[in-house]
Chains A and B, each alone.
Chain A
Amino acid sequence: MTEHSVHDHYDHEGSKLGMWLFIFTELLFFGGLFIVYAVMRYKNGTAFELAGKELDVFIGTFNTIILLISSATIAMSISSVRMKKKNLTVALLGITLLLAIVFLVNKYFEWGAKIEHGLFPGTETLHQFGHGEIMFFGLYYFMTGLHALHIIVGVVLIAIMMIKVHKGKIHESRFVQLENTGLYWHLVDIIWIFLFPLFYLIA
């Protein structure tokens, strides 16, 4: 009798329940920020609209499409692992991973351009604008930054899933980890779906 024997049980439903609970936590985590956004936008409506014009709608839309496609590919990878198509699963996860990285690269250039123009919390340029703009860009960096952090965690998770599928540790009768990674990825996706209009499309 070892400690391990106690814990060697597999409960697909239970593990998924745990992931859903984690998603609830994440939603309330971002929820606090959405409250701050709501309050600040209520107070500085016009300034938010003006500041929103500074953002590049094209990059925003492009990133939205990227994330939506990646959500589809990770969902397909779960279907394909159930159909015992190992190579297809690895390939689909690879595409998801690639799209996630493209998203981050876009984000890097987008942020980089803003920072170059001095649109960054604490800079003189930003302080020349009114309070509303300061709040807008504060929220923009904080919320998209936190979201990008979740994307990075997702990249790591997806990479681990690829390795596990490749090594055969995730297969048609034991794939809850992959399914949970998928749930996480959809969460990251759906948060972006809210961030995108709130920052890019309010103008």
Chain B
Amino acid sequence: MDNSNLPNYLEYKGKYKGIFAWIFSTDHKRIGLLYLYSIMAFFLVAALLGLLMKFELIAPGKTIMEAKAYNAVFTLHGIAMIFLVVVPGIPAILGNFFLPIMIGAKDVFYPRLNLLSWWLYVIGAVIAVSSQFMGSGSPDTGWTFYAPYSFKTQSNVLPALVGAFVLGFSSILTGLNFIVTMHRMRAPGMKWMKMPLFPWTLYGTAWIQLLATPVVGITLLMVIAEKALSIGFFDPALGGDPVLYQHLFWIYSHPAVYIMILPAMGVISEVLPTFAKKKIFGYNAIVLSTMLIAFVGYFVWGHHMFTAGMSETSLFAFSFLTFIVAIPSAIKIFNWLATLYKGSIMLRTPMYWAISFLFVFMIGGLTGMVLGALSTNVHLHDTAFVVAHFHFIVFGGVGFAFFAGIHYWFPKIYGKMYEESWANTGWIMFFMGFLTLYFPMFLLGIKGMPRRYYDYVPEFHFTNIISSFGAFIMIAGLVVILINLFRSAKRGEKAPASPWGGKSLEWTISSPPTLENFEEIPEIK
């Protein structure tokens, strides 16, 4: 279907002009880009904070900041990365842009609600970040806001809590919107089991957003009330229970890990078949395992609290369930590998990212098993090992999949090709830097270096130097990637409708898409 003669979504003139044509647009593609730019801005700030921490850790003792400043830096790094970047990341950017197109719809079900979600995101982000600049010093609680410290500390936690609460709403509304969109707006003939895998993973994610986020919402509200009115739910001095806070917090925040990783798995499930020139292996198994992860993911929160004080029975149950939840992820890994088997593999930039995703995700997953086992967990709890593990999953998994996705769909989004040699250079720098940065942290953790400390004993010096060195390479790689993409969005060669020979619906329309995506809703046979 050739619709390239119509104005595309980047050019068309709407009711508003200039920047208002974007920030008041209800077009899912423009909203996707709004998210892209705002999330990228926060990502860069948070990555810079991460780099500052690595600067601090390059030598024992004070290098560039004191303990208090370090506490504030890792808190803001965590809040920004989790709530502003990784949780909304793939669903809000790539999901918004491609979900409607991939199911053959002209937009999401509630376009105005979609715009409201972005506004809530911005408002929540501004409130959260404002905690740095006003009141009595930056929050120093870590992104988990553990009670009772979160309401005892003199630092300015309140705006961070309110911001996270508002961001939760934004996330819930996006999830709600996506579920209704997939139920009501699939193109005629697209049965559930014909839906592409990226939408399927967004479907699982959306249910978690809908059913888990409100729990953290109410929990944050309780901490706010604790701080403002001292109602005492989590304050042992008044008869409250701080461990109860941890339970409520992780009832959301563990499923939140699946909010992050499921869409990443969806992206990989789109990229691999395209570049192996094969159909995905075991479509049904991937769909089923996606929904299983979304479901079982609710029941493993306790593994964050193995040393917090729980009954033996709960410890065993949570550890067992943690091993169970690894199975559907492993099923996916086997499916992806089987997809590559005997495929005619095209090694292009998105494929490099996807394959390196498999590598880092497996390391992240297997070290997760080490932490899920009770005996090893006691030794490794709150050490650099945990930090390395979740960066392999959350940054390695989600980050690599995001870059795979953005390089895969870039030609569709902007209608331009990027410079592949530069993109590959950026990838290899990022990949090598990433491994150099986080792998030593496993070793540090096993040897007993605690997380969230600005200082360490001299024995850890050498390993920390390597890790910090990796951080510099990785950030340099990131700069190469971003400059290449920015330049190409402006000056790249014109992209054809289907540069990689992808088979899903987004490759049947022009690059960039027109306002309505499809002039006629396609029929799926």
Contacts and interface: CB of A to CB of B under 8 A. Distances in A.
Nearest to B184: A14
A24 interface: yes
A84 B78 CA distance: 55
Interface in A77-133: 121-122, 127, 130-132
Contacts of A135: 232-233, 238-240
A36 B244 CA distance: 8
A104 B41 CA distance: 44
B378 interface: no
Interface stretch (B79-87, B137-145, B216-224, B356-364): B216-224
Interface size, A (range): 35 or more
B459 to A, nearest CB: 43
B523 to A, nearest CB: 18
Interface stretch (A1-9, A162-170, A181-189, A193-201): A1-9
Interface residues of B, number: 48
B210 A121 contact: no
A94 B210 CA distance: 33
Contact of A17 (B180, B225, B232): B180
Q: Which of B180, B184, B244, B516 has the most CB of A within 10 A?
A: B180
Nearest to A36: B233
Contacts of A35: 247-248
Contacts of B6: 1
A30 B244 CA distance: 16
A199 to B, nearest CB: 15
A36 B222 contact: yes
Contacts of B261: none
A3 B14 contact: yes
Given A2-B14, A121-B230, A30 B183 contact: no
Q: Which of B176, B179, B241, B516 has the most CB of A within 10 A?
A: B176
A14 B180 contact: yes
B111 A25 contact: no
Contacts of B60: none
A109 to B, nearest CB: 21
A38 to B, nearest CB: 10
B229 A44 contact: no
A2 B229 contact: no
Interface in B234-259: 238-241, 244, 247-248, 251
Contact of A2 (B15, B106, B233, B239): B15
Given A36-B244, A132-B239, A142-B225, A29 B217 contact: yes
A1 B222 contact: no
Contacts of B184: 11, 13-14, 17
Contacts of B26: 3, 7
A175 interface: no
Contact of B214 (A6, A32, A43, A139): A32
Given A1-B516, A134-B232, A31 B215 contact: yes
21 contacts: A2-B14, A3-B26, A3-B27, A3-B111, A17-B179, A18-B180, A24-B211, A25-B211, A28-B211, A32-B215, A36-B233, A40-B241, A43-B239, A121-B229, A122-B230, A130-B239, A131-B238, A131-B239, A132-B239, A134-B238, A138-B231
Interface of A: 1-3, 6-7, 11, 13-14, 17-18, 21-22, 24-26, 28-33, 35-36, 39-40, 43-44, 121-122, 127, 130-132, 134-135, 138-139, 141-142, 146
Interface of B: 6, 12, 14-15, 25-27, 106-107, 109-112, 172, 176-177, 179-180, 183-185, 210-215, 217-219, 221-222, 225, 229-233, 238-241, 244, 247-248, 251, 515-516
Pairs of residues from A and B, 8 with the lowest C-beta to C-beta distance, nearest first? A131-B239, A138-B231, A32-B218, A29-B214, A14-B184, A28-B214, A121-B231, A18-B180
